[in-house]
C-alpha cells in the first residue's frame, strides 16, 4: 500500500468513526431527553393511557432485561455498570472493525447497540436504575416496560445477527 493510499484510507476511517460516534451521541441525547421528560412530568408508576394496546408509564428498573435481578440487595447496580462499560468498550472495538471492513450492516448494528448501552449505563451511573416508559399490552397481558435505549439495543442485536449470517454465507459459499 502506498503512503498516499494509506493516509487516504486512514482519513476515511477517522471520518466514518467520527460520524458513527456522532450518531451514538445522538441516540444517547434523544434517550436522555425522553427520560428527562418522563422524570419531570410523571410520578413513579404513573400510567398515561394512549390506547387499548399502549401506555406511557414511569418505572425504575434496578435490574436488567425483564427486571432480571431487580430484587437483589443493590449490588446489581455496580455489576450492571461494569458489564455495561465492558460491553461499550467491546462493541466500540467491533465498530472500528466494521469500519475497517466497510461492513455497513455491522456499523449500523454497533451504533445502535452502543447508543442503547451508553443510555442505559448512564442511567445506572446517574440515577441508580434505568428509566422505562413504554408499555405495550393486550387485555391483561403486559410486555415488560422498556425505553428507547432498549429499542436501539434490540434492533442493533437484530442487525448484528444479520451481519453474522452474511459473513457466514460469504465464507462458506
Nine-digit cell at 157? Answer: 442485536
Is 55 in the active site? Answer: no
Q: Could you tell me if 155 and 121 are in contact, meaning their C-beta atoms sit under 8 angstroms apart?
A: no
Give one word for 78, left, alpha or beta, with left for phi > 0 and alpha for psi -120 to 50: alpha
Beta-strand runs (E) in 52-163: 54-61, 130-138, 141-142
What are 86's three cell numbers? Answer: 465492558
In this structure, are residues 36 and 117 in contact, taking their beta carbons and an 8 Å threshold?
no
Active site annotation includes 132:
yes
Out of 31, 55, 123, 132, which one is annotated catalytic?
132
Which positions are annotated as active-site residues? 132, 150
Amino acid at each position: 500500500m502506498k503512503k498516499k493510499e494509506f493516509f487516504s484510507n486512514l482519513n476515511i476511517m477517522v471520518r466514518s468513526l467520527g460520524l458513527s460516534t456522532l450518531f451514538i451521541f445522538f441516540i444517547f441525547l434523544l434517550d436522555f431527553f425522553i427520560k428527562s421528560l418522563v422524570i419531570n412530568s410523571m410520578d413513579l408508576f404513573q400510567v398515561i393511557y394512549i390506547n387499548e394496546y399502549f401506555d406511557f408509564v414511569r418505572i425504575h428498573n434496578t435490574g436488567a432485561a425483564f427486571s432480571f435481578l431487580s430484587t437483589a440487595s443493590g449490588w446489581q447496580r455496580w455489576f450492571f455498570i461494569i458489564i455495561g462499560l465492558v460491553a461499550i468498550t467491546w462493541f466500540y472495538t467491533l465498530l472500528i472493525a466494521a469500519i475497517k471492513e466497510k461492513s455497513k450492516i455491522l456499523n449500523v448494528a454497533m451504533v445502535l447497540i452502543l447508543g442503547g448501552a451508553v443510555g442505559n449505563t448512564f442511567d445506572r451511573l446517574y440515577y441508580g436504575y434505568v428509566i422505562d416508559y413504554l408499555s405495550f399490552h393486550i387485555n391483561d397481558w403486559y410486555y415488560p416496560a422498556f425505553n428507547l435505549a432498549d429499542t436501539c439495543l434490540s434492533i442493533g442485536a437484530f442487525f448484528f445477527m444479520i451481519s453474522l449470517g452474511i459473513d457466514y454465507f460469504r465464507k462458506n459459499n
